[in-house]
Amino acid sequence: MKNPFLSDFNTLYNTIPFDKISIEHYLPAIEEGIKKGLLEIDAIVNNIDKPNFTNTIEALEKAGALIEVVSMTFSNLNLAETSKEMQALAKVLSPKLSDYANDIILNVELYKKIEVVYYTKDKLTLNAEQTMLLEKTYKGFVRNGSKLNDIQKETLRKIDKDLAQLSLSFSENVLAENNAFQLVITNPSDLSGLPEGIIEAAKITAFEKGKDNAWVFTLDYPSYGPFMTYSENRNLKEQMFKAYGSKAFKNNEYDNQNILKQMAVLRHDRALLLGYKSHADFVLEERMAESPSTVFSFLENLLDSALPFAKLELEELKEYIKINGGPADIKRWDIPYYSEKLKKEKFAIDDELLRPYFKLENVINGVFETSKKLYGLSFVQRSDIPIYHKDVISYEVKNEKGEFLAILYADFFPRSGKRQGAWMTSFVNQKTENGVNIRPHISIVCNFTKPIDSKPSLLTFNEVTTLFHEFGHALHGICANGQYGSLTGTSVYWDFVELPSQILENWCYEKECLDLFAKHYQTGETIPADYIKKIVSSSNFQSGLLTIRQVGLAMLDMAWHSENPKEIESVKDFEINATSKSDLLPSVSETCTSCSFSHIFPGGYSSGYYSYKWAEVIDADAFEAFKEKGIFDNVVAKSFYENILSKGGSEHPTILYKRFRGRNADPKALLRRSDLLPVK
């Protein structure tokens, strides 16, 4: 069979021909991509002309086109639609890709040419984007070992290979543990408190798993979350909580304790080898925060602001539990259930009241309409674009002039081959080559509540904000309009990448936006204005507790990556110590967040989890600009599009944000929005 990667795709907009790709195509395509990529590097190195921006920096940027498309396709599907065969292949491909990257970054002659161009930059006539590409290229080589001696380079190669393999193992273990657990209920009385739709979904899951006369709950969040929130069976909630929190922390074949310790040590050793004090110092050099001390100061300030509120919120919850005959000794698995009851009592609102107004298809249309009103975008579903799973929907995106802008893939429901959570990624990055604007192919992947026999997919309000969040990332990719693929879309400083995603969540709280799509799935009735007021008034419910939870996770990340991890013996003890300032309840001995903390170990958020809160400050400030003029104000939206969404990483984010806002972000904007400013 002809390898689809090694010939023209002949598909609409050159989309990936998923329907023609088989697992046996990846390895030969990767090997051919590596071969072609290294020949392109040789051509740069062997060019007898004096190194300049075009024949060195731009040529390097263009090299490796085949390896890029194959590796992006494989890595995306290994997250969204994996299998035992793909996981085995990943272990074969990983060292090859690691070697390929290091063959380029550690190429002495290539680095010398880059250095020549870099040190003559003052004599070059470059625009802002070209200057950024030159800076990023030079720093990328220096920061990843170009100045090391041969022995050190070999050490670096081994570290990178080992890290790549450990990262794969970490992810596979978490997925295996997630898929292995199921809570099988056979006694109907154990379903007490659960909404009808959740019970019906559990019945369908049981049928799919071959269980007769039973209900099955899993650790997929659309199953786990509602069970913890509504079940009246405290013992079963304890069982679920411990199963969820103990993933890859059971001293079995899927245990991640040694893996994550090895990863932390290797990252630390790598940083030392490159001349940095820690992995955090290495990472943060290329972030807005710039240093660990800035991040710790930022987190401490947030903690100082939120902790008094969090303590009051916890005391309020304990008192509510006491008054309502709940357990005297409150445990972590009690929190979701009683918090939801307290919220409903205070605000007369809960997820089940709102679900009927958030049919998935309506929410999708709502985020599309929001994008149209803000940026003039339109989305047309296509059936002639290949997809990688039957659940995936593909869209053609056009701008306000009707011109093709992007391809969007949407993948919404849980399945055994998909990682938990929600994310945005791309199969093709936007770039300009030979005067042609190559438009991006973007994907959003979520794990939402599945439709059942009696109901369509009805989202919780949290799932609505998740969809808007990931769609904000997608807009960052869709609207990209730059010269170089490595600088477009979401290729920005990591603590700036969450701005487009988090700002879009704000529209979910606005009546003008909700009226576009929040309609009862049976009656078509628009969501009552009173419900919207309740959504807004309850939006800061337990915001102190939520804030210290996020701060605690960020501190855990920084602890793993800003200290010397070689002396760490107990992962659990280390975690308890790292989060002690933000934990208001005793740790549960059977659970350990680090062992399934995919964001910071296999994911790209190591020394960067703080960026969610960092970007919240910026997004709160940015949304105030919309609120001042109107949430669909064309002038503000145009400025955000032109200065943020379309610019990617072409300039420093501080410059881009100032161009949009006219000033730096006000740090108090987040505290204002979260009602965490101290009362005078």
Query: Over the Cα atoms of the chain, what is R_g?
Result: 25
pLDDT tier, 680 (very low <50, low <70, confident <90, very high otherwise) = very low
Mean of pLDDT values over 471-492: 98
pLDDT tier, 186 (very low <50, low <70, confident <90, very high otherwise) = very high
Judge whether 660 and 643 are in contact, CB under 8 Å: yes
Which of 507, 506, 475 shows the shortest CA–CA distance to 490? 475
Judge whether 261 and 571 are in contact, CB under 8 Å: yes
Q: How far apart are CA 621 and CA 663, in angstroms?
A: 10
Concatenated DSSP letters for 572-614?
HHHHHHHTTTT--SPPPTT--GGGG-TTTTTSS-TTTTTHHHH
Contacts of 17 by beta carbon, 8 Å cutoff, 6+ apart? 4, 9, 10, 11, 386
pLDDT tens-digit map of 188-201: 999 999 999 999 99
HEC states along 345-406?
HHHCCCHHHHHHHCEHHHHHHHHHHHHHHHHCCEEEEECCCCCCCCCCEEEEEECCCCCEEE
pLDDT tier, 338 (very low <50, low <70, confident <90, very high otherwise) = very high
| Percent residues over pLDDT 90 in the chain | 96
Sign of CA dihedral 459, 463, 469, 473: negative
pLDDT tens-digit map of 219-274: 999 999 999 999 999 999 999 999 999 999 999 999 999 999 999 999 999 999 99
By three-state DSSP, how is residue 426 classified?
Answer: strand
Which of 393, 320, 298 shows the shortest CA–CA distance to 607? 298
CA 157 vs CA 102, 108, 145, 473: distances in Å: 7, 15, 10, 32
Judge whether 198 and 230 are in contact, CB under 8 Å: yes
Q: Strand 441-445 to strand 183-185: parallel, antiparallel, or no bridges (unpaired)?
A: unpaired
Mean of pLDDT values over 33-57: 98
Judge whether 671 and 677 are in contact, CB under 8 Å: yes
Contacts of 348 by beta carbon, 8 Å cutoff, 6+ apart? 534
Contacts of 564 by beta carbon, 8 Å cutoff, 6+ apart? 268, 278
For residue 575, the tally of other CB atoms under 10 A from its CB is: 23
> Residue 119: its pLDDT value, please?
96
pLDDT tens-digit map of 578-636: 999 999 999 999 999 999 999 999 988 999 999 999 999 999 999 999 999 999 999 99
Concatenated DSSP letters for 138-205?
HHHHHHTTTTS-HHHHHHHHHHHHHHHHHHHHHHHHHHHHHHH--EEE--GGGGTT--HHHHHHHHHH
pLDDT(679) > 70: no
Going from the N-terminus, what domains does the chain have, and what CATH number goes with each?
A: 4-150 (1.10.1370.40), 257-337+543-607 (1.10.1370.10), 356-537+612-673 (1.10.1370.40)
Mean of pLDDT values over 171-178: 96
pLDDT(501) > 60: yes
What is the biggest distance separating any 2 CA atoms in the chain, rounded to whole angstroms?
83
Q: In the sheet that 441-445 helps form, which strands lie side by side, from edge to edge?
A: 378-382, 393-398, 404-411, 441-445, 423-428
Q: Is 545 exposed, middle or buried (0-12, 13-18, 19+ CB in 10 A)?
A: buried
**122 or 442: whose pLDDT is higher?**
442
Mean of pLDDT values over 94-116: 97
pLDDT tier, 296 (very low <50, low <70, confident <90, very high otherwise) = very high
Q: Rounded mean pLDDT of the chain?
A: 96
Catalytic positions are 470
> Residue 454: its pLDDT value, please?
84
Mean of pLDDT values over 535-554: 96
pLDDT tier, 277 (very low <50, low <70, confident <90, very high otherwise) = very high
pLDDT(502) > 90: yes
Q: What angle do CA 294, 296, 301 make, to 5 degrees?
A: 95
Q: How far apart are CA 592 and CA 575, in angstroms?
A: 8
Judge whether 616 and 502 are in contact, CB under 8 Å: yes
